[in-house]
Amino acid sequence: MEEHKRAQLLHKDRQYVWHPFTQMKDYENQDHLLIEKAEGIHLYGADGRTYMDTVSSWWVNVHGHGHPRIKQAIQEQMERMDHVMFSGLTHEPAIVLAEKLVERTPEGLTRVFYSDNGSTAVEVALKMSYQYWQHQGHKTKHKFIYLQGSYHGDTLGAVSVGGVDLYHAIFKPLLFSAYQAPSPAISGMEQSLEAIEDLMKRHQSEIAGIVIEPLIQAAGGMHIYGADFLTRLRALCNTYEIHLIADEVATGFGRTGKMFACEYAGMTPDLICLSKGLTAGVMPLSATLCTEEIYQSFYDDYETLKTFFHGHSFTGNPLACAVGIESLNIFEDDNLLGHVQEVSAYMQQQFRRFADLEHVDHIRGLGMVAALNLVKDKDRQEAYDPVKRAGYQIYKQGLEEGLILRPLGDTIYYWLPLCTTKEQVDTIIARTSSVIEKVTAKL
């Protein structure tokens, strides 16, 4: 791109655009990175430089950018039909995708409700769970349990079950009340399960469901815990008749090494929330799947007023559904999960090398996700002073080295596109080493 056009666009960006999760003042004297083109795991800047997308464009991308089969699926669908409403009407892409999702998700999830982003997928699950209990005559079940450090989206219902104070505390007066339980990843599995059981026992008549991110509490800081927790939580939910809502918006579609993280525990939640990788990270779409039992509690004569009154303008968008179908086809045709098994094993092994660095601690990972914490003093477990903004320094140095790294606080992580190759892993690791060494030397 010509330099004057780039400068002009960035000027207008500052003038008109408010970016998400961004202190816009950071860009007063510095440019946002203007991306012109994306292909495979590479982003091409208007500055003529190339960047490796180690965070899958906010955890959504699956097959790399600009995949030819995805492009073709959009084009072919666009020729036939762009968008129609999804109430009173239906269409082939949404039907075919729903069948595939029922087939691919854990056994026992039989019905698919579409919306258009991860937060709304969670809102839908919360509302379905609550309304189910209303239909069952349990009129007082209107509360939810969530975990410390959890993130389920930014709409108010999703924030109400969010456990990250930095994002959520200021909105407290706007939220419905919910019970927070300790996280298995932060406080340990036994302590977490004990507290959850205690809450369930004491408030069984009030609690509709518990909402969790299976295996990886992502936005809260890439906290990872074991599959045993899921198995035992499933048992508790059965005992106390409480819905288990699995928010697989981030973990779904192969990111953890299996299609869905719940599979590690052979566990079926009552509701599952999907988005991000659902359309390979290309179109906004989400789905909430539920059990037949939940679905049947809504299924009655209209006069009984058991209809689920919820929907969005872009519910079941045909272009997005067509992409979702093609993405699942690519999973099968390319044996993508086989590729992920191989590359992720290699990546996790290479990632452990960072343990030798002086300011790196708490290395962890699962599938195509890996994370570490930057610390001022490893032995004394001392964090950097937050005003140093170590994570932000990493982001900026990453750009210098041709990497998109977007740390969460002082947690540096990879959330790699599933198509990443071993050679690309080598390059990413080498560049990250250099980024960490340069930044920690300066701090």
Ligand X SMILES: *Cc1c(COP(=O)(O)O)cnc(C)c1O
Mark the segment that binds ligand X (CB under 6 A) among 39-47, 113-121, 327-335, 364-372: 113-121
Contact criterion met (CB below 8 Å) for 66 and 92: no
Q: Which of 275, 317, 397, 420 binds ligand X (CB under 6 A)?
A: 275
Q: Is 172 annotated as a binding residue?
A: no
384's tokens:
């950097």
Region near ligand X per CB under 6 A, out of 11-19, 111-119, 230-238, 380-388: 111-119
Closer by beta carbon to ligand X, 247 or else 361: 247
Q: How far is the CB of 153 from ligand X (least distance, A)?
A: 3
- Report whether 119 belongs to an annotated binding site: yes
Q: Which amino acid is at 34?
A: L
Query: How many residues lie near ligand X (CB under 6 A)?
Result: 14
Report the nearest approach of ligand X to the CB of residue 247 (Å).
5
Residue 313 known to bind ligand: yes
**Token pair for residue 178?**
């919910």
State which residue has the least CB distance to ligand X: 118
Smallest gap from Cβ 57 to ligand X, in A, equals 12
Helix (H) or strand (E) holding 336: helix 336-351
In DSSP notation, 262-314 reads: GGGGT---SEEEE-GGGGTTSS--EEEEEEHHHHHHH-S-GGG--------TT
Nearest to 368 by CA among 265, 276, 234: 276
Measured from the CB of residue 248, what is the shortest distance to ligand X in angstroms? 7
Would the annotation count 258 as a binding residue? Answer: no
Buried b (16+ CB within 10 A) or exposed e, 365-390: bbbbbbbbbbbbeeeeeebbeeebbb
In this complex, which beta carbon is closest to ligand X, that of residue 1 or of residue 164? 164
Q: What is the DSSP string of 86-146?
A: SSS---HHHHHHHHHHHHHSPTTEEEEEEESSHHHHHHHHHHHHHHHHHHTT-TT--EEEE
311 labelled as ligand-binding?
A: yes
Determine, following the binding rule CB under 6 A, whether residue 119 of this chain makes contact with ligand X: yes
Of residues 151 and 331, the one with the C-beta less far from ligand X: 151
Residues 137-196 binding ligand X (CB under 6 A) are 151-153
Inter-CA distances, 55 with 112, 191, 272, 363, 405, Å: 28, 32, 23, 17, 7
23 burial (CB, 10 Å; 0-12 / 13-18 / 19+) is exposed
Please tell me whether residue 122 binds ligand X under the rule CB under 6 A. yes
- Smallest separation, CB 20 to ligand X (Å): 9
Cβ-count burial of 409 within 10 angstroms (0-12 exposed, 13-18 middle, 19+ buried)? Answer: middle
Binding of residue 250 to ligand X (CB under 6 A): yes
312 carries a ligand binding annotation: yes
Q: How far is the CB of 289 from ligand X (least distance, A)?
A: 15
247 is in an annotated binding site: yes
Is 212 a binding residue for ligand X by CB under 6 A? The answer is: no
Instruction: Name the segment binding ligand X (CB under 6 A); options: 61-69, 134-142, 204-212, 244-252.
Output: 244-252
**Cα–Cα distance for residue pair 285/316, rounded to 1 Å:** 7
Whether the CB-CB separation of 11 and 19 falls below 8 Å is answered with no
Identify the CA nearest to 178 among candidates 159, 191, 153, 195. 159
Q: How far is the CB of 279 from ligand X (least distance, A)?
A: 11
Examine residue 406 and tell whether it contacts ligand X (CB under 6 A).
no
**Residue 118 annotated as binding?**
yes
Q: Does 247 bind ligand X (CB under 6 A)?
A: yes
58 is in an annotated binding site: yes
| Least separation in angstroms between CB 28 and ligand X | 26
Residue 151 is labelled as binding a ligand: yes
Joined together, the tokens standing for residue 74 give 């959009």
Q: Is 22 helix (H, G, I), strand (E, B) or coil?
A: coil
Instruction: Give the residue numbers of the binding site for substrate.
Output: 58, 151, 276, 311, 406
Residues at the contact surface with ligand X, assessed by CB under 6 A? 117-119, 122, 151-153, 213, 218-219, 247, 249-250, 275
Binding residues for pyridoxal 5'-phosphate: 118-119, 247, 312-313
